[in-house]
Structure 1
Amino acid sequence: MADTDFPAEKFTHPDFTAKGETRASVAWTGLKTLWFNTGTLCNIECRNCYILSSPKNDRLVYLTLADVMPYLDEVDRMTPDGVEIGITGGEPFMCPDILPIMEAILFREHSLLLLTNAMRPMMRPRIREGLCRLRDNGLAEKLTLRVSLDSHDPALHDAERGEGAFEEACAGLRWLADEGFQVAIAGRQSLHEDEAAARAGYGALASSLGLSLDAADPKQLVLFPEMIPQDDPPEITTACWGILDKVPESIMCADQRMVIRRKDAARATVTACTLLVDDPAFELGHTLKQATAEPVKLNHPWCASFCVLGGGSCSA
């Protein structure tokens, strides 16, 4: 690529970096996790929410059972074995069809990882009764509810989510523990503590709430790297795989996709991963077949900061 052809800014050209180096891409290796984003509406508005979910943000609308079923059928055609299905939002328990969606997934014997803040939407009588019905019907054996906490410190958590949010989330966690549901925690590691201290803090909290959770297990306690909207990470080139001692197959878009439905859209579409719902370059088609046909170009700052450099993955 000639110097005069270099893109003017970072993360703008699908094939080349601002320095003219070949941009890294990730080819599809086979389905590990299919995500459904039930919408960007949420009962709270977190200060650093990466997709700006809030009680008013409906740019991604609620998925319906009718939206979900064709993708479950396509998964059945892709693989004879069950896969991991993830549900995220917004707050999934605000979605009117969340219980029948969960039932459809679990009935097909997929494992289900549902991300929630464990606050008021989950604690409504209809939702609690529905969760207990899934459990009593033997459908909850492959269900994990991953509860997001911004800190094991109440003050830090409430600074992000609002006064009283920590206490409300803990009440939800206690209920899940009392009812025997499998629970994981998704936390953040604050800037003033190392990973060992963070795991110790979350472990002590889990124990105090009656949760059977091994804080040393990265699947039971996920510590996510921070994603800063104005962050300026380096672009990832093909040479970075060797420099960083990583392989493309370890990156989330090698084996994960997410289904969304935009406001006023006629149907749902598939994005490259759970993070990039606002960049049209990462919206890959209406079907999984379309969305897995070509490699994903790592042409976004979060590809670098969260996935490659941060080592993050949203799946279990």
Structure 2
Amino acid sequence: MKDQSIPGKFSDPYVTASGELRARVPFGNPETLWFNTGTLCNIECENCYILSSPTNDALVYLSTVEVSLYLDQLEERNWNPREIGFTGGEPFMNPDMIDMTAQALERGYDVLVLTNAMQPMMRPRVQKGLLDLQQRFGHKLTLRISVDHWRDDLHETERGRGSFARTIAGMLWLHNNGIRMTVAGRTVWGETEYEARAGYADLYATHGFDISAQDPSQTVLFPEMDELAEVPEITTDCWGILHKSPRDVMCASSRMVVKHKGAELPSVIACTLLPYVPEFDLGHSLKDAERDVALNHPHCAKFCVLGRASCSA
């Protein structure tokens, strides 16, 4: 693994700056197909890896028809994932969100929706749709709520003044209506993981939320995304050094569908973190996307290999 300060790092998909073979991840045993519903969001975070905001429509809204076509491809390609994920932007800003979620649930998939649980989710039409889905599919549907920190002041340094109370209000509505929730937080506050999970446990207890702070699948703590961070390149030798397998990395088992502004068709992306990097655009079909991925970006090292993180449940 090589220090990122050396010129030429993350520039060649086959070799590192030091001339070693770059690690690659073969695709196999697909577990999650993600859909990015669009980059528009009701808020603008201090550090959003996908640059979502009220004005960024670089990734435009997917439609129910487009999602359905990819669900058809899942069956044609025999991927058999356990989960369909929806992310944004804020998914509930997409007018087709309830219908797209229903499409996936009706085909028998578990569905995970990433949301800030704020105003877009709390609109009466969306609430009515979520209640219908809850009644029909129960815990096949999970909403992962972005709670960047268990303290309101630190959460609001990322998401803006008043955002914590609005998110908690949305979570209370979900809880009171029996809709399953998990939480995503960030690990940028100078506290240990033990301290962070203890803080989230207190938050959940205060509000009666049935979420485990100790279960990493229910309270996911993500490292910060910084493309300029000093991180090593991952070589083929790193698997043995780190005692990891390529199968452990997110792009071994997931893909994400996006639609770029102005594009005629959606594209399949290797990584949920990298929708704007052409090298990680694998083509328009799931068949096109059944190929290996070079770990040729700082996020590959910091988030997936060294950070051991995954966007899936």
TM-score, normalising length from structure 1? 0.95
**Percent of pairs with identical residues:** 53
Give, in angstroms, the shift of residue 82 of structure 1: 5.5
Give, in angstroms, the shift of residue 77 of structure 1: 2.3
Check conservation: 1:115, 1:147, Cα contact below 8 A.
Answer: yes
Between 10-19 and 181-190, the greater mean CA deviation after superposition: 181-190
In the other structure, the counterpart of 2:238 is: 240
In the other structure, the counterpart of 2:3 is: none
Detail structure 1 runs of 4+ shifted over 4 Å in the superposition. Answer: none
**Inter-partner Cα distance in structure 2 for 1:126 and 1:179:** 15
Check conservation: 1:177, 1:211, Cα contact below 8 A.
Answer: yes
In the other structure, the counterpart of 2:61 is: 62
In the other structure, the counterpart of 1:267 is: 265
2:20 is aligned with what amino acid?
Answer: E
Matched, 1:163 2:161: yes
Check conservation: 2:31, 2:80, Cα contact below 8 A.
Answer: no
In the other structure, the counterpart of 1:147 is: 145
Between 105-114 and 71-80, the greater mean CA deviation after superposition: 71-80
Give, in angstroms, the shift of residue 96 of structure 1: 0.8
**Inter-partner Cα distance in structure 2 for 1:218 and 1:147:** 14
Matched, 1:85 2:62: no
**Structure 2 SS opposite 1:87:** strand
**Structure 1 SS opposite 2:11:** coil
Among 299, 302, 305, the residue aligned to 1:305: 302
2:231 is aligned with what amino acid?
Answer: P
Between 80-89 and 105-114, the greater mean CA deviation after superposition: 80-89
Give, in angstroms, the shift of residue 273 of structure 1: 1.3
- Gapped runs of 5+ residues in structure 1? 1-6
> What per-residue deviation string (whole Å, max 9, x for no partner) do you get for residues 41-88 of structure 1?
000000010011000000000000111111101112233856200000
Q: From the superposition, tell whether residues 237 and 80 of structure 1 become closer, same or farther in structure 2 (CA, over 3 Å).
A: closer
Give, in angstroms, the shift of residue 199 of structure 1: 0.6
**Structure 2 SS opposite 1:145:** strand
- Quote the RMSD (CA, aligned, Å): 1.2
> What per-residue deviation string (whole Å, max 9, x for no partner) do you get for residues 289-313 of structure 1?
1111x21000001000100011111
Alignment of 1:277-292 (within 5 A): 277-292=275-290
**Inter-partner Cα distance in structure 1 for 2:19 and 2:26:** 21
Among 178, 198, 210, the residue aligned to 1:212: 210
Alignment of 1:44-55 (within 5 A): 44-55=43-54
**Inter-partner Cα distance in structure 2 for 1:27 and 1:256:** 11
**Structure 2 SS opposite 1:139:** helix
Matched, 1:296 2:293: yes
- Gapped runs of 5+ residues in structure 2? 1-5
TM-score, normalising length from structure 2? 0.96
How many residues align? The count is 308
**Structure 1 SS opposite 2:84:** strand
Check conservation: 2:301, 2:307, Cα contact below 8 A.
Answer: yes
